[in-house]
Amino acid sequence: MYRNISKLVLFSDLGDDCILYRLSNLFEIFDKGDYDKSLLITEIYKEIKHLLDLATDYGFDDNLWHNYLTFLLITDENSFTLTSEKVGASDGTVNYFAKNDFKIFKELFDFDFTKIENELGIDCFTTITNYKAIPKKERMYNRNVSEKVRELSKKIELSATADEIFDILTSFYADYGIGMFGLNKAFRIRERDEALTLFPINNTDEVMLDDLIGYEIQKQMLIDNTKAFVEGRPANNCLLFGDSGTGKSTMIKAILNQYYSEGLRMIEIYKHQFKDLSSVINLIKNRNYRFIIYMDDLSFEDFEVEYKFLKAVIEGGVESKPDNVLIYATSNRRHLIKESFNDRNDMTVSRGLHHSDTIQEKLSLVNRFGVTISFSKPNQKEYYEIVLGLTRKEDKLKAMSDDEIMLLANQWELNHGGLTGRTARQFVDYLLGRE
């Protein structure tokens, strides 16, 4: 194993602490024959434990060794994989080195653990290559990554040559991409050791646009803008504003699911992180994806100045915003920044002169959103349509008549926030939760 790994070129920088390299070092010790058997077994079991931990995090199953190798092939960001992401194969000398590495990975796929198991009296490798995972709730692992790794692993198992693996992987890179961005839909930012990093949101809401009842005009406006964006045509930053509970945030989550397969990704950012916006954009501006920077429930009080960072990034800074980044925000406020009656007084001695300038300053942020979409609470009829539309999607509720549902929905909304899509969703969840 270690002799093969030493010949890797493009995939050689996997990190000295990765399971593959550590196992390789242990197998080298085994081949030399000068080892403490008990100590070597202990070290091997440590790596098996690390592999089991990884399998639990990502929901791997069946052949954990193959799943792990596949995971490396679609997460390692190197000159070849980065060039291939969302584009696929292209002619170039680098393909020679890629196929050389894929040949080595195929040998690792087919590696025979029999000798080391027989001589050490262990069966851990046989166990992990015929593994049956304990069923877990989806929130306990990254289902999106798990499904892709297991499906791709099966394809590589059946391949016979490096050329076949090359075609399989470059097609995958073209469809989904590579690394963290290729496998995940949405991300948050955090600081670690004074460095800004992105980390994936493992299980995003699976809501789709068809699940949203009503608001067809608003939905179409957002679809048109996002479709233009993912297709590389000019598109605008979007502000979704209006009454709470009307589905603004849900619609943005649905648009991500709709266009994920076309390269759309989302980064959720909070108000206190606006100072890091430029750094976030630097991390993503050269990647072959389309990124929406998502800001939920955006609004500012008089004393908050974070909006100035946002203004500079959207439009006004020296460095232009890259064409693979848009900003989508939701807010209950049309103008985002709190206004007072004093702002409307053009001459107030206590507050200084020309307060119309203050108004312009506060409006300048919302004016940087080229598309603004208004959401208002539904009327009674529209509320019933939303409720009935949601209940008809649930098999457990099909026995209830429309009249019965509407009567209960009316009672529910009187005590739970009024006529909104959120209230309707909560009502349906209440029905589903009853004995």
Domains of the chain, start order = 2-182 (no CATH), 200-375 (3.40.50.300), 380-433 (no CATH)
- The residue among 26, 62, 69 whose CA lies nearest residue 47 is 26
- The residue among 249, 205, 207, 240 whose CA lies nearest residue 221 is 240
Residue 144: is it exposed, middle or buried by C-beta count within 10 angstroms (0-12/13-18/19+)?
A: buried
Q: Which pLDDT score, from 0 to 100, does residue 336 have?
A: 59
pLDDT digits 0-9 by tens, 104-159: 999 999 999 999 999 999 999 999 999 987 776 655 567 778 888 999 999 999 99
Phi first, then psi: give them for residue 396, nearest 5 degrees: -65, -20
Mean pLDDT, residues 382-398 taken together:
90
Q: Which pLDDT score, from 0 to 100, does residue 322 have?
A: 87
Q: Which pLDDT score, from 0 to 100, does residue 431 have?
A: 92
Mean pLDDT, residues 214-219 taken together:
93
- The residue among 409, 433, 2, 414 whose CA lies nearest residue 213 is 409
Mean pLDDT, residues 24-51 taken together:
94
Q: Could you tell me which residues are beta bridge partners of residue 267?
A: 187, 293
Tally Cβ neighbours within 10 Å of residue 230. Answer: 20
- For 385, the token pair is 């349509």
Q: Which pLDDT score, from 0 to 100, does residue 339 have?
A: 53
* Mean pLDDT (the chain, rounded): 86
pLDDT digits 0-9 by tens, 46-73: 999 999 999 988 889 899 999 999 999 9
Q: pLDDT at residue 434 above 90? A: no
Q: pLDDT at residue 92 above 80? A: yes
Q: Which pLDDT score, from 0 to 100, does residue 355 have?
A: 52
- The residue among 258, 389, 247, 407 whose CA lies nearest residue 330 is 247
Q: Which pLDDT score, from 0 to 100, does residue 357 have?
A: 52
* 30 to 20, 25, 37, 69, 401: CA distances (angstroms): 15, 9, 9, 21, 71
Give the highest mean pLDDT range of 18-27, 291-300, 325-334, 362-371.
Answer: 18-27
Question: What are the residues whose beta carbons fall under 8 Å from the beta carbon of 234, sequence distance 6 or more?
Answer: 228
Q: Is the alpha carbon torsion for 173, 174, 180, 185 positive or negative?
A: negative
Q: Which pLDDT score, from 0 to 100, does residue 66 have?
A: 96
Q: Is the alpha carbon torsion for 94, 96, 101, 102 positive or negative?
A: positive
Q: Which pLDDT score, from 0 to 100, does residue 353 have?
A: 47
How far, rounded to the nearest angstrom, does the alpha carbon of residue 332 sit from its chain's CA centroid? 25
Q: Is the alpha carbon torsion for 293, 297, 298, 304 positive or negative?
A: negative
pLDDT digits 0-9 by tens, 347-387: 444 444 445 555 555 556 677 788 999 999 999 999 999 99
Q: Which pLDDT score, from 0 to 100, does residue 316 have?
A: 52
- For 295, the token pair is 């800001």
* 15 to 21, 46, 51, 76, 194: CA distances (angstroms): 8, 17, 15, 10, 22
Q: Which pLDDT score, from 0 to 100, does residue 211 have?
A: 87
Q: Which pLDDT score, from 0 to 100, does residue 307 have?
A: 64
Q: Please state whether beta strands 347-348 and 352-353 pair in parallel, antiparallel, or not at all (unpaired).
A: antiparallel
DSSP state of 135: P
| Percent of the chain with pLDDT strictly greater than 90 | 51
pTM value is: 0.81
Sequential DSSP letters for 138-192: GGGS-HHHHHHHHHHHHHHHH--SHHHHHHHHHHHHHHT-SHHHHH-SEEEEEEE
- The CA distance from 299 to 270, in Å, is 11
Residue 196's pLDDT band, with cuts at 50, 70 and 90, is: confident
Q: pLDDT at residue 300 above 70? A: no
Q: pLDDT at residue 301 above 70? A: no
| Percent of the chain with pLDDT strictly greater than 70 | 86
- For 421, the token pair is 């899509």
- The CA distance from 174 to 86, in Å, is 4
State which amino acid sits at residue 354: H
> Which residue has tokens 């009080």?
301
Q: Which pLDDT score, from 0 to 100, does residue 350 have?
A: 46
- The CA distance from 320 to 292, in Å, is 16
Q: pLDDT at residue 84 above 70? A: yes
